[in-house]
């Protein structure tokens, strides 16, 4: 059987696992748990290729438990029952590693409770999505959630060097060498994914093994050829996607044009033109708002241009919008005003529209007092006359609070002027 290099090089001890130094090492949670020999139910959350399966296997061995692995994408509850039925054959107990648990629906996840509560099975579930969104609360409350993070290039480099030594065993009659530059490139191009890095090592060797030379020598050029897909991965429905959107808006709100451009690039690299356009339109009103009212007009023009052009040219007007918005003065007065008003409308009795503002364009309206005392502002100096517009119960309510910027300061000065003259 042709077992992939990444599988053959899978560590069997925590000490050989690269990365995850916040979980593994002296005094860290996973290391301490394994020292007890007792494994609790756990959920491993993080990107692919960061050691979740490896650590689950090590946990099973440390607790002397039989290790069974299922993938929730293809598995069913019958598969879980079949494993539970084997408990008598394994005195040390069973550890079930359920990969991609988010693919089990609520009913299937609820059914797991029977097995983890009666102690027949210790569950380690993994997911690339935020478990607080995708895993049933009853499972979460019975499990310890541990986050696995992307692995740094320096840590991946250790795994690559070890893999080079491992793959050399496949060619006992030939010397296998990787240049330092090739090793560095593979470590940096893997995007924090050890599996991807080890697959690249294997492909590099295979691509050079056709040569009849005594030495299989992998250069930087060969490594680049074998990692042409790059390290970027984008899932429009994944948890990471929403993190990028969040960072995109927060960077522009924080007036960091460089970060805004970077996160725009990530969205566009994933082909997500629509999200980038929608988010820029939101930012123009939510974060720049009345501090620079023309920003939304310019942003709309950039978005329209981008949608007409399509990718890759769409990147240009969208970059223009990002830079404009990041460098514009900021005001959130509009969103604060409408959110405050909506909250009050939805949660409180605010009363009815004042009589003098009610519709009076029908026969009999005057006899009902509708619109009788309304004062038409254009009939007064500066088109302003004091009168009540809010319902009686909230007549003194203030929703709009001007921010300190040129435009809103001019609003404030104008209103003070006309309201002073209208008294």
Residue 337 in domain: no
Q: Are strands 175-178 and 144-147 parallel, antiparallel or unpaired?
A: unpaired
Euclidean distance between CA atoms 233 and 269, whole angstroms:
9
Instruction: Pinpoint the alpha helices (H) of 16-120.
Output: 29-36, 52-62, 77-84, 106-117
Q: Contact at 8 Å (CB) between 40 and 144?
A: yes
Same domain, 246 and 311: yes
Indicate if 177 and 140 belong to the same structural domain: no
| Residue range 346-371, pLDDT digits in tens | 999 999 999 999 988 888 888 888 88
Show which of 114, 147, 180 is a domain's final residue.
147
> Same structural domain for residues 37 and 85?
yes
CATH number assigned to the domain comprising residue 168: 1.10.8.60
SS3 (DSSP) at 218: strand
Residue 217 has pLDDT above 60, yes or no: yes
Judge residue 391's burial from the number of C-beta atoms within 10 Å of its C-beta, 0-12 exposed, 13-18 middle, 19 or more buried. middle
- Do both 91 and 30 map to the same domain? yes
- Residue 331 belongs to a domain: no
Within a domain: residue 5?
Answer: no
Q: Tokens for 326?
A: 């990041």
User: Which has the closest alpha carbon to 95: 40, 51, 29?
Assistant: 40
Q: What is the spatial distance between Cα 300 and Cα 318, in angstroms, rounded to a whole number?
A: 10
- For residues 67 and 52, what is the distance between their CA atoms, to the nearest angstrom? 14
Residues 204 and 249 in one domain: no
Q: What is the pTM of this model?
A: 0.63
175-212: pLDDT as tens digits: 889 999 999 999 988 888 899 999 999 999 988 877 76
Same domain, 316 and 268: yes
Q: Is the pLDDT of residue 2 over 80?
A: no
pLDDT (0 to 100) of residue 229: 60
Tell me, what CATH number does 118's domain have?
3.40.50.300
Structural domain harbouring 30: 20-147
Instruction: Compute the Cα dihedral for 355, 361, 363, 366 and give only its sign.
Output: positive
- What does the alpha-carbon distance between residue 318 and residue 278 come to, in Å, rounded to a whole number? 11
Cis before 196 (ω within 30): no
According to the per-residue pLDDT averaged within each range, which of 20-29, 161-170, 218-227, 276-285 is highest?
Answer: 276-285
Q: What is the CATH number of the domain that holds 363?
A: 1.10.3710
CB atoms within 10 A of CB 370: 18
Q: What angle, rounded to 10 degrees, do the helices at 194-208 and 180-189 form?
A: 140
Transcribe 228-273 into DSSP letters. TT-S----TTSHHHHHHHHHHHHHHHTT-HHHHHHHHHHHHHTT-H
| Size of the chain in residues | 423
Confidence (pLDDT) at 112: 85
Residue 407 lies in a domain: yes
Residues 44 and 142 in one domain: yes
Question: Which of 124, 147, 170 is the last residue in one of the domains?
Answer: 147
- Do residue 355 and residue 303 come from a single domain? no
Looking at the predicted structure, is the pLDDT value of residue 237 above 70?
no
pLDDT tens-digit series, residues 20-70: 999 999 999 999 999 888 889 999 998 888 999 999 989 888 888 888 999
Q: Do 130 and 24 share a domain, yes or no?
A: yes
- Alpha carbon distance 176, 218 (integer Å): 8
In a domain, 359, yes or no: yes
Could you tell me the two tokens for 29? 């949670």
What's the Rg (C-alpha) of the chain?
31
Q: Mean pLDDT score of the chain, rounded to an integer?
A: 89
More confident residue, 325 or 230: 325
| Average pLDDT of the residues in 218-242 | 71
- Total domains in the fold of the chain: 4
Residues 169 and 249 in one domain: no
Cα–Cα dist 332/408, whole Å: 11
Per-residue pLDDT of 26-38, as tens digits, reads 999 999 999 888 8
Using alpha carbons, select from 384, 252, 223, 273 the residue that is nearest to residue 327: 252
pLDDT in tens, 142-180: 899 999 988 888 999 999 999 999 888 888 888 889 999
Domain boundary among 225, 255, 277: 225
Dihedral of CA atoms 329, 332, 334, 337 in degrees, nearest 10, equals -150
Give me the torsion for CA of 268, 273, 275, 277, rounded to 10°. 110
Q: Sign of dihedral through CA atoms 64, 70, 72, 77? A: negative
CA atoms within 13 Å, Cβ hemisphere of 77? 12
The SS3 assignment for 124 reads strand
Q: 266 in a domain, yes or no?
A: yes
Tell me: do 205 and 298 sit in the same domain: no
What is the percent of the chain where pLDDT is above 90? Answer: 51
Residue with tokens 């030495």: 215
Q: Find the helix packing angle between 153-168 and 180-189, rounded to 10°.
A: 120
Q: Does residue 177 sit in the same domain as residue 104?
A: no
Classify residue 232: in a domain, yes or no: no
pLDDT for 422: 47
Mean pLDDT across 111-120:
81
Q: Is residue 157 part of a domain?
A: yes
CATH number of the domain bearing residue 261? 1.20.272.10
């Amino acid at each position: 059987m042709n077992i992939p290099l990444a599988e053959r090089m899978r560590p069997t001890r925590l000490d050989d696992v690269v990365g995850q130094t916040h979980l593994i090492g002296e005094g860290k949670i996973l290391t301490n748990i394994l020292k007890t020999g007792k494994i609790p139910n756990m959920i491993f959350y993080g990107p692919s290729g960061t050691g979740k399966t490896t650590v689950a296997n090590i946990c099973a061995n440390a607790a002397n438990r039989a290790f069974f692995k299922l993938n929730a994408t293809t598995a069913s509850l019958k598969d879980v029952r079949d494993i539970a039925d084997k408990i008598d054959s394994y005195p040390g107990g069973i550890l079930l590693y359920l990969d991609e648990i988010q693919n089990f629906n609520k009913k299937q996840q609820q059914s797991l409770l029977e097995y983890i509560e009666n102690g027949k099975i210790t569950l380690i579930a993994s997911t690339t999505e935020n478990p607080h969104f995708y895993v049933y609360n009853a499972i979460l409350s019975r499990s310890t959630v541990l986050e696995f993070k992307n692995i740094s290039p320096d840590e991946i480099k250790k795994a690559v060097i070890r893999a080079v030594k491992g793959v050399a065993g496949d060619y006992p009659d030939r010397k296998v060498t990787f240049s330092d530059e090739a090793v560095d490139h593979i470590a940096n191009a893997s995007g924090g994914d050890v599996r991807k890095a080890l697959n690249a090592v294997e492909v590099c060797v295979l691509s050079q093994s056709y040569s009849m030379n005594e030495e299989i020598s992998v250069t930087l050029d060969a490594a680049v050829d074998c990692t042409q897909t790059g390290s970027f991965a984008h899932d429009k429905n994944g948890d990471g996607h929403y993190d990028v959107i969040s960072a995109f808006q927060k960077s522009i709100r924080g007036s960091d044009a460089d970060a805004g451009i970077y996160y725009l690039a990530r969205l566009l690299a994933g082909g997500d033109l629509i999200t980038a356009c929608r988010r820029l339109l939101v930012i123009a009103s939510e974060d720049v708002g009345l501090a620079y009212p023309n920003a939304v007009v310019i942003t709309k023009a950039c978005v329209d241009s981008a949608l007409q052009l399509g990718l890759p040219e769409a990147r240009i007007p969208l970059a223009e919008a990002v830079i404009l918005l990041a460098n514009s003065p900021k005001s959130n007065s509009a969103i604060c005003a409408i959110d405050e008003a909506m909250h009050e409308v939805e949660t409180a009795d605010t009363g009815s529209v004042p009589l003098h503002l009610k519709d009076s364009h029908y026969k009999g309206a005057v006899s009902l007092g509708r619109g009788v005392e309304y004062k038409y502002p254009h009939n007064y100096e500066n088109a302003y006359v004091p009168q009540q517009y809010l319902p009686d119960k909230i007549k003194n309510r203030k929703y709009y609070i001007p921010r300190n910027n040129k435009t809103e300061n001019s609003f404030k000065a104008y209103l003070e002027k006309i309201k002073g003259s209208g008294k």
